[in-house]
């Protein structure tokens, strides 16, 4: 490949144009977007309707986050030739970050009509339907993707979770069991199968939790706060203020499982130094934009708590323990991180049944008796507990009931 090609002076033959396009593609792969852009622009000066160059400009725009420009480029390519499936697919993909889901659906359907044998077309359309809660449509397209590519692991996984959300539990169990024959030991699939069969494990796999929140990050706050009326951070903050007093300020505060920073916003005013930890880099990226944390770490909460060289006088875990069944280790780590007489405040989803259970949502619920028992063994005293509505679940009047706990550290563990 001639990396020294000067397209403005040498694009005088089909061979030189093809060489320029190949070099532009190589630049794109190696993330040299400026060079790729210049080559494509030069090609289009010579051949204005060069569809591949126009399409590549759209891909470059997507790579740098200019989805509006990407959509314009893909539409321009379609205007040149309306019969190329990948152009409609690319246009649909560029419309999604712009919130234009219905248009994206139409683009994907057009791509499928032009080339029905590409499984990723069906898979990506299914993902949109899943996101907008059209579960029957999502399941149909996941199944179509699987019919084309029988070992399509991602399609199987999302089909299983779609069937679960649609409360088609028997079919979801069969789906996850089939997936585990294709990919034995797949942690996320095993976790959701456990949830459906009542086989309570100690915690959700890290890979599963990270994947859930990386994919959910962009829509997290809009859906959780506006649609599901998420109340947990404000309830936790209210418990802290009622116990400690309105004038109390905490020197070092740790927000474990900080997510996009909703809890951080609540406690910034009472924190001299505020540190956040979360497994999901996408969630942490959004938290960073809020500007309320002094430090943010992408890490497992237990690993990071064990490595932080800071003593805290307040640790908060809002909607975190729904992904951890056995809380003994995290309570032990919290005790080691806290100064004497400091606070440990958190939420749980509540159950009156066993110590803790895994629910068919893949989330854990904990009983009051279990929390009191683990707290005592871990050197804490429960100062405050209440059962309350945390957020809605699917329907208008279906609320998730959870516990809000405030603990004080009573003794140092060895």
Residue range 12-63, pLDDT digits in tens: 788 889 899 999 999 999 999 999 999 999 999 999 999 999 999 999 999 9
151 and 286 together in one domain: no
Find how far residue 142's CA is from the centre of its chain.
20
Residue 284 lies in a domain: yes
**Higher pLDDT pick, 214 / 74:** 74
Rounded distance between C-alpha atoms, residue 174 and residue 151, angstroms: 15
**Full-model pTM:** 0.85
pLDDT band, very low/low/confident/very high, at 384 (cuts 50, 70, 90): very high
pLDDT above 90 (res 406): yes
Give the residue-averaged pLDDT of 304-329. 95
pLDDT band, very low/low/confident/very high, at 86 (cuts 50, 70, 90): very high
Please tell me the least confidently modeled range out of 99-103, 333-337, 409-413.
Answer: 409-413
Residue 330 lies in a domain: yes
CB 254 within 8 A of CB 337: yes
pLDDT above 90 (res 186): yes
- The predicted structure's pLDDT at residue 394: 66
141 and 257 together in one domain: no
45 and 192 together in one domain: yes
pLDDT above 80 (res 397): no
- The predicted structure's pLDDT at residue 66: 96
Q: Are strands 380-393 and 395-409 parallel, antiparallel or unpaired?
A: antiparallel
User: In Å, how far are 121, 139, 191 from 175, measured between CA atoms?
Assistant: 21, 11, 13
Choosing from 197, 228, 254, the residue where a domain stops is: 197
Burial 268-302 (b: 16+ CB within 10 A, else e): bebbeebbbbbbbebbbebbeeeebbeebbbbbbb
Residue 256 lies in a domain: yes
pLDDT above 60 (res 107): yes
- The predicted structure's pLDDT at residue 222: 77
Choosing from 139, 171, 197, the residue where a domain stops is: 197
274 and 353 together in one domain: yes
Residue 209 lies in a domain: no
pLDDT band, very low/low/confident/very high, at 392 (cuts 50, 70, 90): confident
Residue 206 lies in a domain: no
Please tell me the least confidently modeled range out of 1-5, 177-181, 204-208, 232-236.
Answer: 1-5
Residue 2 lies in a domain: no
246 and 175 together in one domain: no
pLDDT tens for each residue of 350-363: 999 879 999 999 99
Structure tokens at 274: 């505020």
DSSP 391: E
Supply φ then ψ for residue 218, to 5 degrees: -65, -30
HEC string of 165-231? HCCCHHHHHHHHHHHHHHCCCCHHHHHHHHHHHCCCCCECCHHHHHHHHHHHHHHHHHHHHHHCCCC
Q: Which helix (H) or strand (E) holds 365?
A: strand 364-366
220 and 191 together in one domain: no
264 and 161 together in one domain: no
- The predicted structure's pLDDT at residue 353: 81
Overall domain count for the chain: 2
Residue 362 lies in a domain: yes
**Mean pLDDT estimate for the chain:** 92
- The predicted structure's pLDDT at residue 398: 80
- The predicted structure's pLDDT at residue 395: 56
| Cα torsion through 116, 118, 120, 126, rounded to 10 | 20
**Higher pLDDT pick, 66 / 411:** 66
- The predicted structure's pLDDT at residue 58: 96
Residue reference for tokens 């001299």: 272
Q: Which helix (H) or strand (E) holds 364?
A: strand 364-366
185 and 233 together in one domain: no
pLDDT above 80 (res 224): no
pLDDT above 90 (res 297): yes
193 and 276 together in one domain: no
Residue ranges making up the domain that contains 156: 7-197
pLDDT above 70 (res 414): no
Please tell me the least confidently modeled range out of 146-150, 218-222, 243-247, 373-377.
Answer: 218-222
Find, among 334, 301, 319, 404, the residue nearest to 364 by Cα.
319
pLDDT above 50 (res 6): no
Residue 89 lies in a domain: yes
164 and 269 together in one domain: no
Write the CATH number for 73. Answer: 1.25.40.10
Choosing from 146, 164, 197, the residue where a domain stops is: 197
In this prediction, what percent of the chain has a pLDDT beyond 90? 83
- The predicted structure's pLDDT at residue 396: 57
Write the CATH number for 264. Answer: 3.40.50.150
224 and 193 together in one domain: no
169 and 285 together in one domain: no
């Amino acid at each position: 490949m001639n990396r020294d090609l000067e397209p403005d002076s040498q694009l005088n033959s089909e061979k030189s144009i093809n060489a320029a396009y190949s070099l532009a593609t190589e630049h794109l792969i190696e993330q040299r977007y400026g060079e790729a852009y210049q080559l494509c622009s030069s090609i289009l000066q010579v051949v204005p309707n060069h569809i591949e160059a126009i399409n590549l400009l759209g891909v470059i725009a997507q790579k740098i986050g200019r989805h509006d420009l990407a959509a314009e480029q893909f539409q321009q390519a379609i205007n040149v030739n309306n019969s190329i499936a990948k152009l409609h697919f690319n246009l649909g993909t560029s419309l999604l970050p712009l919130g234009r889901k219905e248009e994206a659906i139409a683009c994907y359907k057009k791509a499928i009509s032009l080339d029905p044998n590409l499984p990723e077309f069906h898979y990506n359309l299914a993902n949109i339907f899943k996101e907008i809660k059209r579960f029957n449509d999502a399941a149909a397209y996941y199944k179509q993707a699987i019919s084309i590519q029988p070992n399509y692991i991602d399609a199987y996984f999302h089909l299983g979770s779609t069937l679960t959300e649609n409360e088609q539990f028997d079919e979801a169990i069969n789906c996850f069991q089939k997936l585990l024959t294709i990919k034995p030991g797949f942690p996320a699939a095993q976790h959701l199968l456990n949830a459906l069969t009542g086989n309570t494990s100690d915690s959700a796999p890290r890979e599963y939790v990270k994947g859930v929140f990386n994919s959910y990050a962009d829509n997290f706050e809009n859906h959780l706060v506006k649609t599901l009326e998420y109340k947990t951070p404000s309830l936790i903050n209210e418990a802290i203020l009622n116990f400690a007093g309105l004038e109390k300020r905490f020197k070092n505060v740790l927000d474990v499982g900080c997510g996009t920073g909703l809890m951080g916003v609540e406690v910034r005013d009472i924190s001299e130094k505020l540190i956040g930890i979360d497994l999901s880099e996408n969630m942490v990226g959004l938290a960073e934009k809020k500007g309320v944390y002094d430090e943010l770490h992408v890490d497992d909460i237990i690993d990071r708590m064990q490595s932080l060289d800071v003593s805290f006088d307040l640790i908060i875990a809002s909607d975190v323990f729904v992904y951890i069944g056995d809380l003994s280790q995290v309570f032990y780590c919290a005790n080691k991180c806290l100064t004497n007489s400091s606070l440990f405040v958190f939420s749980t989803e509540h159950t009156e049944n066993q110590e803790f259970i895994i629910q068919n949502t893949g989330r854990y619920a904990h009983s009051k008796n279990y929390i009191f028992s683990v707290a005592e063994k871990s050197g804490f005293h429960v100062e405050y507990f209440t059962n309350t509505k945390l957020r809605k679940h699917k329907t208008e009047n279906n609320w998730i009931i959870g516990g809000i706990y405030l603990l004080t550290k009573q003794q140092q563990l060895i």
